[in-house]
Structure 1
Protein backbone atom coordinates (compact mmCIF):
# COMPACT_ATOMS: atom_id res chain seq x y z
CA UNK A 1 0.00 0.00 0.00
CA UNK A 2 2.85 2.42 0.84
CA UNK A 3 4.49 1.70 -2.50
CA UNK A 4 1.22 2.41 -4.30
CA UNK A 5 0.83 5.72 -2.44
CA UNK A 6 4.42 6.70 -3.16
CA UNK A 7 4.02 5.79 -6.82
CA UNK A 8 0.76 7.74 -7.00
CA UNK A 9 2.44 10.76 -5.38
CA UNK A 10 5.32 10.55 -7.86
CA UNK A 11 2.91 10.44 -10.79
CA UNK A 12 1.01 13.43 -9.42
CA UNK A 13 4.26 15.32 -8.82
CA UNK A 14 5.46 14.57 -12.36
CA UNK A 15 2.14 15.72 -13.79
CA UNK A 16 2.30 18.90 -11.69
CA UNK A 17 5.85 19.63 -12.89
CA UNK A 18 4.80 19.19 -16.51
CA UNK A 19 1.77 21.39 -16.01
CA UNK A 20 3.97 24.06 -14.41
CA UNK A 21 6.16 24.16 -17.49
CA UNK A 22 9.09 22.16 -16.17
CA UNK A 23 9.21 20.31 -19.48
CA UNK A 24 9.42 16.63 -20.23
CA UNK A 25 12.34 14.87 -18.64
CA UNK A 26 14.02 11.78 -19.89
CA UNK A 27 14.21 8.45 -18.18
CA UNK A 28 14.60 8.72 -14.39
CA UNK A 29 14.03 12.50 -14.44
CA UNK A 30 17.20 13.23 -16.38
CA UNK A 31 17.93 15.10 -19.55
CA UNK A 32 21.06 16.04 -21.45
CA UNK A 33 21.92 19.23 -23.24
CA UNK A 34 24.96 20.78 -24.84
CA UNK A 35 26.70 23.80 -23.33
CA UNK A 36 28.91 26.08 -25.39
CA UNK A 37 32.03 27.03 -23.47
CA UNK A 38 33.89 30.28 -24.18
CA UNK A 39 37.60 30.83 -23.55
CA UNK A 40 39.15 34.23 -24.30
CA UNK A 41 42.83 35.01 -23.80
CA UNK A 42 44.86 38.20 -23.79
CA UNK A 43 48.39 39.39 -23.17
CA UNK A 44 46.95 41.91 -20.69
CA UNK A 45 48.40 41.25 -17.22
CA UNK A 46 46.12 39.46 -14.78
CA UNK A 47 45.98 42.32 -12.24
CA UNK A 48 44.98 44.83 -14.94
CA UNK A 49 42.39 42.50 -16.48
CA UNK A 50 40.74 41.66 -13.17
CA UNK A 51 40.71 45.35 -12.15
CA UNK A 52 39.07 46.26 -15.48
CA UNK A 53 36.59 43.37 -15.10
CA UNK A 54 35.57 44.41 -11.60
CA UNK A 55 35.37 48.10 -12.56
CA UNK A 56 32.51 47.25 -14.95
CA UNK A 57 30.59 45.31 -12.29
CA UNK A 58 28.38 46.58 -9.52
CA UNK A 59 28.04 44.87 -6.13
CA UNK A 60 24.98 42.83 -5.22
CA UNK A 61 23.28 43.62 -1.92
CA UNK A 62 20.52 41.14 -0.94
CA UNK A 63 18.82 43.58 1.45
CA UNK A 64 16.56 45.44 -1.02
CA UNK A 65 15.09 42.22 -2.43
CA UNK A 66 14.59 40.86 1.08
CA UNK A 67 12.45 43.90 1.94
CA UNK A 68 9.80 42.65 -0.52
CA UNK A 69 8.81 40.04 2.08
CA UNK A 70 8.35 42.88 4.59
CA UNK A 71 6.01 44.78 2.29
CA UNK A 72 8.36 47.10 0.42
CA UNK A 73 7.00 48.52 -2.80
CA UNK A 74 8.21 46.55 -5.85
CA UNK A 75 9.07 49.78 -7.70
CA UNK A 76 11.35 50.89 -4.84
CA UNK A 77 13.07 47.50 -4.73
CA UNK A 78 13.53 47.51 -8.52
CA UNK A 79 15.08 51.00 -8.34
CA UNK A 80 17.47 49.89 -5.58
CA UNK A 81 18.54 46.84 -7.60
CA UNK A 82 19.04 48.96 -10.74
CA UNK A 83 21.46 51.19 -8.80
CA UNK A 84 23.60 48.16 -7.89
CA UNK A 85 24.45 47.29 -11.49
CA UNK A 86 27.76 48.34 -12.96
CA UNK A 87 28.32 49.75 -16.47
CA UNK A 88 28.12 46.18 -17.87
CA UNK A 89 24.64 45.70 -16.40
CA UNK A 90 26.03 42.97 -14.13
CA UNK A 91 27.00 42.90 -10.48
CA UNK A 92 29.23 40.64 -8.38
CA UNK A 93 27.37 38.19 -6.18
CA UNK A 94 30.54 36.41 -5.04
CA UNK A 95 34.26 36.36 -5.67
CA UNK A 96 36.35 33.31 -4.80
CA UNK A 97 40.15 33.31 -4.80
CA UNK A 98 40.59 29.76 -6.04
CA UNK A 99 44.27 30.33 -6.73
CA UNK A 100 45.08 30.60 -3.04
CA UNK A 101 43.23 27.35 -2.38
CA UNK A 102 45.52 25.64 -4.86
CA UNK A 103 48.21 26.24 -2.24
CA UNK A 104 46.70 23.29 -0.38
CA UNK A 105 47.99 20.92 -3.05
CA UNK A 106 50.87 22.76 -4.71
CA UNK A 107 51.88 26.22 -5.85
CA UNK A 108 49.38 29.06 -5.60
CA UNK A 109 48.15 30.57 -8.84
CA UNK A 110 46.25 33.65 -9.93
CA UNK A 111 42.73 32.22 -10.33
CA UNK A 112 39.50 33.98 -9.40
CA UNK A 113 35.98 32.68 -9.83
CA UNK A 114 33.27 35.33 -10.09
CA UNK A 115 29.55 34.82 -9.69
CA UNK A 116 27.94 37.63 -11.69
CA UNK A 117 24.46 38.55 -12.77
CA UNK A 118 21.57 40.87 -12.16
CA UNK A 119 18.40 39.90 -10.27
CA UNK A 120 16.33 41.90 -12.76
CA UNK A 121 17.71 39.84 -15.67
CA UNK A 122 17.03 36.67 -13.69
CA UNK A 123 13.38 37.47 -12.93
CA UNK A 124 12.77 38.28 -16.59
CA UNK A 125 13.61 34.64 -17.26
CA UNK A 126 12.25 32.92 -14.15
CA UNK A 127 8.87 34.57 -14.65
CA UNK A 128 8.56 32.38 -17.76
CA UNK A 129 10.36 29.27 -16.45
CA UNK A 130 11.49 28.97 -12.85
CA UNK A 131 14.13 26.47 -14.02
CA UNK A 132 16.18 29.44 -15.24
CA UNK A 133 17.13 29.99 -11.59
CA UNK A 134 19.52 27.02 -11.93
CA UNK A 135 21.82 29.11 -14.12
CA UNK A 136 21.41 32.63 -12.76
CA UNK A 137 23.69 34.18 -11.63
CA UNK A 138 26.49 33.12 -13.97
CA UNK A 139 30.03 31.92 -13.23
CA UNK A 140 33.12 33.42 -14.82
CA UNK A 141 36.66 32.15 -14.25
CA UNK A 142 39.60 34.54 -14.68
CA UNK A 143 43.13 33.24 -14.39
CA UNK A 144 46.73 33.71 -15.41
CA UNK A 145 47.81 30.91 -17.75
CA UNK A 146 51.37 29.64 -17.85
CA UNK A 147 53.46 32.25 -19.61
CA UNK A 148 51.42 35.21 -18.33
CA UNK A 149 48.55 37.23 -19.66
CA UNK A 150 44.94 36.52 -18.73
CA UNK A 151 42.38 33.90 -19.65
CA UNK A 152 38.64 34.25 -19.07
CA UNK A 153 36.28 31.27 -19.30
CA UNK A 154 32.51 30.97 -19.01
CA UNK A 155 29.60 28.97 -20.34
CA UNK A 156 27.58 30.84 -22.94
CA UNK A 157 24.35 31.90 -21.21
CA UNK A 158 22.12 31.12 -24.21
CA UNK A 159 23.42 27.54 -24.23
CA UNK A 160 22.63 27.13 -20.51
CA UNK A 161 19.19 28.73 -20.59
CA UNK A 162 18.44 27.23 -24.01
CA UNK A 163 17.81 23.90 -22.30
CA UNK A 164 14.48 25.31 -21.17
CA UNK A 165 13.19 25.77 -24.71
CA UNK A 166 11.32 28.99 -23.94
CA UNK A 167 11.57 31.78 -26.57
CA UNK A 168 11.11 34.51 -23.95
CA UNK A 169 13.94 33.10 -21.83
CA UNK A 170 16.04 32.67 -24.98
CA UNK A 171 15.68 36.38 -25.83
CA UNK A 172 17.00 37.45 -22.42
CA UNK A 173 19.79 34.83 -22.60
CA UNK A 174 20.89 36.12 -26.03
CA UNK A 175 21.17 39.60 -24.52
CA UNK A 176 23.25 38.13 -21.68
CA UNK A 177 25.56 36.56 -24.29
CA UNK A 178 26.21 40.01 -25.76
CA UNK A 179 26.64 41.73 -22.39
CA UNK A 180 29.03 39.08 -21.09
CA UNK A 181 31.10 39.04 -24.30
CA UNK A 182 31.38 42.84 -24.14
CA UNK A 183 32.40 42.73 -20.47
CA UNK A 184 35.11 40.16 -21.17
CA UNK A 185 36.38 41.88 -24.34
CA UNK A 186 36.60 45.25 -22.57
CA UNK A 187 38.45 43.69 -19.63
CA UNK A 188 41.01 41.97 -21.83
CA UNK A 189 41.88 45.01 -24.04
Structure 2
Protein backbone atom coordinates (compact mmCIF):
# COMPACT_ATOMS: atom_id res chain seq x y z
CA UNK A 1 0.00 0.00 0.00
CA UNK A 2 1.35 3.43 -0.92
CA UNK A 3 0.75 6.62 1.11
CA UNK A 4 0.84 10.11 -0.34
CA UNK A 5 1.58 12.65 2.34
CA UNK A 6 0.23 16.15 1.98
CA UNK A 7 1.51 19.16 3.91
CA UNK A 8 -1.72 19.16 5.90
CA UNK A 9 -1.37 15.48 6.83
CA UNK A 10 2.26 15.95 7.90
CA UNK A 11 1.26 18.97 10.00
CA UNK A 12 -1.51 17.01 11.71
CA UNK A 13 0.84 14.11 12.40
CA UNK A 14 3.51 16.44 13.81
CA UNK A 15 0.97 18.09 16.09
CA UNK A 16 -0.39 14.74 17.25
CA UNK A 17 2.98 13.26 18.18
CA UNK A 18 4.53 16.51 19.36
CA UNK A 19 7.11 16.41 16.60
CA UNK A 20 9.62 19.11 15.73
CA UNK A 21 8.02 22.48 15.06
CA UNK A 22 4.83 21.56 16.90
CA UNK A 23 4.60 23.07 20.35
CA UNK A 24 3.23 21.14 23.28
CA UNK A 25 -0.38 20.44 22.45
CA UNK A 26 -0.19 22.66 19.34
CA UNK A 27 -3.05 22.47 16.89
CA UNK A 28 -2.61 23.14 13.19
CA UNK A 29 -3.67 26.59 12.06
CA UNK A 30 -7.22 26.82 10.78
CA UNK A 31 -7.38 27.48 7.07
CA UNK A 32 -10.41 28.15 4.94
CA UNK A 33 -10.12 28.34 1.17
CA UNK A 34 -13.03 29.16 -1.09
CA UNK A 35 -13.10 29.13 -4.87
CA UNK A 36 -15.64 30.43 -7.31
CA UNK A 37 -15.99 30.93 -11.04
CA UNK A 38 -16.58 34.39 -12.41
CA UNK A 39 -17.99 35.17 -15.83
CA UNK A 40 -16.03 38.06 -17.31
CA UNK A 41 -17.15 40.00 -20.36
CA UNK A 42 -14.15 40.76 -22.56
CA UNK A 43 -14.26 43.69 -24.98
CA UNK A 44 -12.14 43.67 -28.15
CA UNK A 45 -12.45 46.70 -30.42
CA UNK A 46 -10.58 46.77 -33.73
CA UNK A 47 -10.30 49.96 -35.77
CA UNK A 48 -8.59 51.03 -38.99
CA UNK A 49 -6.36 53.58 -37.27
CA UNK A 50 -2.58 53.59 -36.76
CA UNK A 51 -1.40 52.22 -33.42
CA UNK A 52 0.71 55.28 -32.57
CA UNK A 53 -2.22 57.67 -33.08
CA UNK A 54 -4.60 55.58 -30.96
CA UNK A 55 -2.06 55.05 -28.17
CA UNK A 56 -1.18 58.75 -28.08
CA UNK A 57 -4.85 59.78 -27.94
CA UNK A 58 -5.51 57.22 -25.17
CA UNK A 59 -2.63 58.60 -23.10
CA UNK A 60 -3.84 62.19 -23.59
CA UNK A 61 -7.06 61.21 -21.83
CA UNK A 62 -5.18 60.05 -18.74
CA UNK A 63 -3.73 61.93 -15.83
CA UNK A 64 -0.63 60.62 -14.05
CA UNK A 65 -0.83 58.85 -10.72
CA UNK A 66 1.56 60.04 -8.01
CA UNK A 67 1.59 57.74 -4.94
CA UNK A 68 3.08 60.51 -2.76
CA UNK A 69 -0.11 62.12 -1.45
CA UNK A 70 -1.70 58.78 -0.59
CA UNK A 71 1.44 57.72 1.28
CA UNK A 72 1.10 60.77 3.54
CA UNK A 73 -2.11 59.30 4.98
CA UNK A 74 0.07 56.87 6.96
CA UNK A 75 1.76 59.88 8.60
CA UNK A 76 -1.57 61.40 9.58
CA UNK A 77 -2.18 63.76 6.65
CA UNK A 78 -5.61 65.37 6.42
CA UNK A 79 -7.84 63.10 4.26
CA UNK A 80 -9.51 66.10 2.58
CA UNK A 81 -6.11 67.46 1.52
CA UNK A 82 -5.09 64.05 0.14
CA UNK A 83 -8.41 63.69 -1.69
CA UNK A 84 -7.92 67.12 -3.31
CA UNK A 85 -4.41 66.13 -4.44
CA UNK A 86 -5.72 62.89 -5.96
CA UNK A 87 -8.53 64.73 -7.76
CA UNK A 88 -5.95 66.94 -9.46
CA UNK A 89 -4.15 63.87 -10.87
CA UNK A 90 -7.12 62.69 -12.96
CA UNK A 91 -7.13 63.29 -16.69
CA UNK A 92 -10.10 64.41 -18.78
CA UNK A 93 -11.44 60.84 -18.68
CA UNK A 94 -11.40 60.74 -14.89
CA UNK A 95 -8.66 58.09 -15.06
CA UNK A 96 -4.96 58.30 -14.42
CA UNK A 97 -2.04 56.19 -15.62
CA UNK A 98 -0.56 53.91 -12.96
CA UNK A 99 1.74 52.00 -15.28
CA UNK A 100 2.60 51.26 -18.89
CA UNK A 101 4.11 47.90 -19.90
CA UNK A 102 5.62 47.53 -23.36
CA UNK A 103 4.70 43.91 -23.96
CA UNK A 104 5.49 44.21 -27.66
CA UNK A 105 9.17 44.82 -26.96
CA UNK A 106 9.19 41.91 -24.53
CA UNK A 107 8.04 39.66 -27.37
CA UNK A 108 11.49 40.30 -28.85
CA UNK A 109 12.73 37.62 -26.44
CA UNK A 110 10.94 34.94 -28.45
CA UNK A 111 10.60 36.42 -31.94
CA UNK A 112 9.83 39.67 -33.71
CA UNK A 113 8.85 42.65 -31.59
CA UNK A 114 5.34 44.03 -31.97
CA UNK A 115 3.39 47.11 -31.06
CA UNK A 116 1.55 46.05 -27.90
CA UNK A 117 1.25 48.13 -24.72
CA UNK A 118 -0.60 47.21 -21.54
CA UNK A 119 -1.90 50.22 -19.63
CA UNK A 120 -2.78 50.13 -15.94
CA UNK A 121 -5.42 52.84 -15.43
CA UNK A 122 -7.77 53.87 -12.68
CA UNK A 123 -8.47 56.40 -9.99
CA UNK A 124 -7.95 55.76 -6.26
CA UNK A 125 -11.13 57.71 -5.51
CA UNK A 126 -13.18 55.35 -7.69
CA UNK A 127 -11.44 52.36 -6.12
CA UNK A 128 -12.17 53.30 -2.50
CA UNK A 129 -15.84 53.81 -3.31
CA UNK A 130 -15.87 50.08 -4.10
CA UNK A 131 -13.35 48.69 -1.63
CA UNK A 132 -15.08 50.39 1.29
CA UNK A 133 -17.93 47.95 0.63
CA UNK A 134 -15.97 44.94 -0.70
CA UNK A 135 -12.22 45.06 -0.10
CA UNK A 136 -11.72 42.20 -2.59
CA UNK A 137 -12.51 44.68 -5.35
CA UNK A 138 -8.92 45.88 -4.89
CA UNK A 139 -7.86 42.86 -6.97
CA UNK A 140 -9.20 44.61 -10.07
CA UNK A 141 -8.48 48.27 -9.36
CA UNK A 142 -6.71 49.74 -11.22
CA UNK A 143 -7.91 48.27 -14.52
CA UNK A 144 -5.86 46.93 -17.42
CA UNK A 145 -6.22 47.91 -21.06
CA UNK A 146 -4.19 46.40 -23.89
CA UNK A 147 -3.62 48.33 -27.11
CA UNK A 148 -1.89 46.42 -29.89
CA UNK A 149 -1.38 46.30 -33.64
CA UNK A 150 -2.58 43.00 -35.17
CA UNK A 151 -1.56 44.26 -38.63
CA UNK A 152 -0.17 47.46 -40.12
CA UNK A 153 -2.66 50.34 -39.94
CA UNK A 154 -5.03 48.41 -37.67
CA UNK A 155 -5.28 48.85 -33.90
CA UNK A 156 -6.99 46.64 -31.37
CA UNK A 157 -8.02 47.70 -27.85
CA UNK A 158 -8.89 44.97 -25.35
CA UNK A 159 -10.12 45.05 -21.77
CA UNK A 160 -12.38 43.24 -19.36
CA UNK A 161 -15.63 45.10 -18.72
CA UNK A 162 -15.36 46.54 -15.19
CA UNK A 163 -18.97 45.71 -14.29
CA UNK A 164 -18.31 42.05 -15.07
CA UNK A 165 -15.15 41.99 -12.94
CA UNK A 166 -16.73 43.75 -9.97
CA UNK A 167 -20.13 42.10 -10.33
CA UNK A 168 -18.86 39.02 -8.51
CA UNK A 169 -19.01 40.93 -5.22
CA UNK A 170 -22.81 41.19 -5.49
CA UNK A 171 -22.89 44.56 -3.80
CA UNK A 172 -25.14 47.33 -5.14
CA UNK A 173 -22.71 50.12 -4.17
CA UNK A 174 -19.81 48.36 -5.92
CA UNK A 175 -21.94 47.61 -8.99
CA UNK A 176 -22.99 51.26 -9.28
CA UNK A 177 -19.36 52.44 -9.38
CA UNK A 178 -18.44 49.61 -11.77
CA UNK A 179 -21.21 50.65 -14.19
CA UNK A 180 -19.83 54.19 -14.17
CA UNK A 181 -16.37 52.76 -14.94
CA UNK A 182 -17.84 50.93 -17.95
CA UNK A 183 -19.13 54.25 -19.29
CA UNK A 184 -15.95 56.22 -18.51
CA UNK A 185 -13.71 53.61 -20.11
CA UNK A 186 -15.91 53.35 -23.20
CA UNK A 187 -15.85 57.15 -23.58
CA UNK A 188 -12.05 57.25 -23.22
CA UNK A 189 -11.68 54.55 -25.87
CA UNK A 190 -14.17 56.23 -28.21
CA UNK A 191 -12.18 59.46 -27.95
CA UNK A 192 -8.97 57.53 -28.64
CA UNK A 193 -10.14 55.99 -31.90
CA UNK A 194 -11.73 59.08 -33.52
TM-score by structure 2 length? Answer: 0.85
Does residue 118 (structure 1) correspond to residue 118 (structure 2)? The answer is no
Equivalent residue for 1:103? 108
Which secondary structure does the structure 2 equivalent of 1:144 belong to? Answer: strand
Q: 1:169 aligns with which of 161, 166, 174?
A: 174
Count of aligned positions = 172
Q: Distance in 1 between matches of 2:53 and 2:186?
A: 18
Q: 2:59 aligns with which of 30, 54, 59?
A: 54
Contact 1:41/1:188 (CA < 8 Å) preserved in 2?
no
Q: Following TM superposition, where does structure 1 have runs of at least 4 consecutive aligned residues deviating by more than 3 angstroms?
A: 1-4
Structure 1 unaligned spans of 5+: 15-27
- CA drift of 1:44 comes to 1.3
Q: 1:6 aligns with which of 3, 15, 28?
A: 28
Q: 1:42 aligns with which of 41, 47, 72?
A: 47
Q: 2:93 aligns with which of 80, 88, 98?
A: 88
- CA drift of 1:6 comes to 2.6
Structure 2 unaligned spans of 5+: 1-11, 17-25
> Which of the two has greater helix per residue?
1
Question: Which has the higher Rg, Structure 1 or Structure 2?
Answer: 2
Equivalent residue for 2:155? 150
RMSD of the TM alignment (CA)?
1.4
- CA drift of 1:48 comes to 0.6
Which secondary structure does the structure 2 equivalent of 1:29 belong to? Answer: coil
1:135-159: CA deviation from partner (whole Å, max 9, x where unpaired): 0000000001124221100000000
